[in-house]
Amino acid sequence: MSSSSVICTMFEKRYALGVGTLTNSLVAAGFDGTFCIGYRGNLPEWLDQCTVEVPGERWRIGELTLRFLRLDTTDHFTNHKPQFLLRLLDQEYPQATRVVYIDPDIVIKCPWSFIEEWSSDAVALCTDVNAQCAPGHPLRRQWERYFSPHGLTFRRQMAVYINAGFIAIPRSQRVLLEEWRRAQDLMAPAIGGLGTAFPKDRTFLFHMTDQDALNAVLDSTNAQVSVIGQDGMDFIPGGYVMSHAQGRPKPWDKRFVREALRGFPATMPDKHYWRFVSQPLVIHRPFARLCACIGLTISSAIGRIYRRG
């Protein structure tokens, strides 16, 4: 039976490589529904390995359907998440029981059934690498001072800071998306418009634009939430859900030995990215995979001796 979830991501340029690897991980996880991919620019080269269903729009790989939607927006994709999710829930897939957004630098490690159960009646979320953001934190106080005059009522204060790279929303909690979109519209004048991301340093209340707006909304909503900690995205050891290659360079561009010599050995998300590059879609050529394998091995050896704190 096909999944009643719709998964989505957005990409442009070299993030197409991450989308392909994410697709492989979804196949391995047993997802058999629709993966909607918003994009600017060119379609991925690896699509020629898939079966065409609707030329220029739909392809199939195993039991998974890939649907590509060209996005006509000037928003930075970081700031376009609630808009895209609402479009899918309300217009494209009104029968879907949930919509799931996953950044294209993430791979899924757990069975897809775990995520569907996790998000059956609550918004599924993971904490960020910088997870500590207790009630009364200066950022939370800044968000409240900024948004309260616009009618947002801060009903609670979360104890942690959420990463916006993954969110699974059952239709029953759709209101959160409306509130997230509204918060980003209200945020736009402070950051110079939604085409901007990461406008200032972390002392600024909207340094991580989509995440800061989402976290402010979580303080001002009654939506039911279910939160997994830093292990949810492999920011600390022991993770079993997904692996998020946050920051730059991304695993597909990283020179592992050089980075290790600088004190930054390969991370768990780096290793999991390359774990999923070969099947069913071949995302990188054999020589690139061999070089990455050797680089990861050497990087890990260097990391046992030297790394920056």
Residue 23: CATH number of its domain: 3.90.550.10
- CA distances, 16 to each of 44, 82, 183, 188 (Å): 6, 21, 29, 27
Q: Identify whether residues 109 and 164 lie together within a single domain.
A: yes
Q: What is the pLDDT of residues 245-297, one digit of tens each?
A: 999 999 999 999 999 999 999 999 999 999 999 999 999 999 999 999 999 99
Q: At what angle do helices 175-191 and 138-147 cross, to 10 degrees?
A: 90
Question: Above 80 in pLDDT, residue 299?
Answer: yes
Number of domains composing the chain: 2
Closest to 29 measured CA to CA, from 240, 228, 269? 240
Q: What is the pLDDT of residues 14-71, one digit of tens each?
A: 999 999 999 999 999 999 999 999 999 999 999 999 999 999 899 999 999 999 999 9
Q: How many angstroms separate the CA atoms of 275 and 153, rounded?
A: 45
Which among 233, 258, 289 is the end of a domain? Answer: 233
Q: Identify whether residues 182 and 69 lie together within a single domain.
A: yes
Q: Identify whether residues 75 and 167 lie together within a single domain.
A: yes
Q: Identify whether residues 210 and 271 lie together within a single domain.
A: no
Q: How many angstroms separate the CA atoms of 63 and 222, rounded?
A: 36
Q: Identify whether residues 75 and 221 lie together within a single domain.
A: yes
Q: Identify whether residues 190 and 254 lie together within a single domain.
A: no
Is 243 within a domain? no
Is 272 within a domain? yes
Q: Identify whether residues 209 and 259 lie together within a single domain.
A: no
Is 123 within a domain? yes
Angle at 172 between CA 168 and CA 177, to 5 degrees: 55
DSSP class of residue 173 equals G
Q: Identify whether residues 178 and 295 lie together within a single domain.
A: no
Per-residue pLDDT band at 130 (split at 50, 70, 90): very high
Is 37 within a domain? yes
- The pLDDT of residue 307 is 83
Q: At what angle do helices 138-147 and 209-219 cross, to 10 degrees?
A: 80
Range of the domain at 227: 5-233
* Encoded amino acid at 85, one letter: L
Is 54 within a domain? yes
Determine the average pLDDT of the residues in 4-16: 96
- The pLDDT of residue 168 is 98
Burial of 164 (0-12, 13-18, 19+ CB in 10 A): buried
| Residues in Cβ contact with 221 at an 8 Å cutoff, skipping those fewer than 6 apart | 155, 175, 176, 179
Q: What is the pLDDT of residues 57-111, one digit of tens each?
A: 999 999 999 999 999 999 999 999 999 999 999 999 999 999 999 999 999 999 9
Q: Identify whether residues 258 and 202 lie together within a single domain.
A: no
Q: Identify whether residues 167 and 50 lie together within a single domain.
A: yes
Is 113 within a domain? yes
Count of beta carbons in the 10 Å neighbourhood of residue 273: 29
Closest to 33 measured CA to CA, from 104, 88, 109? 88
Residue at token pair 């920056």: 308
- pLDDT exceeding 90 applies to what percent of the chain? 92
- pLDDT exceeding 70 applies to what percent of the chain? 99
Is 133 within a domain? yes
- CA distances, 195 to each of 58, 83, 118 (Å): 28, 14, 32
Q: Identify whether residues 204 and 270 lie together within a single domain.
A: no
Q: Identify whether residues 275 and 157 lie together within a single domain.
A: no
Q: Please, what is the average pLDDT of the chain?
A: 95
Determine the average pLDDT of the residues in 214-223: 93
Per-residue pLDDT band at 1 (split at 50, 70, 90): very low
Tokens of 159: 């104890």
- The pLDDT of residue 2 is 55
Is 308 within a domain? no
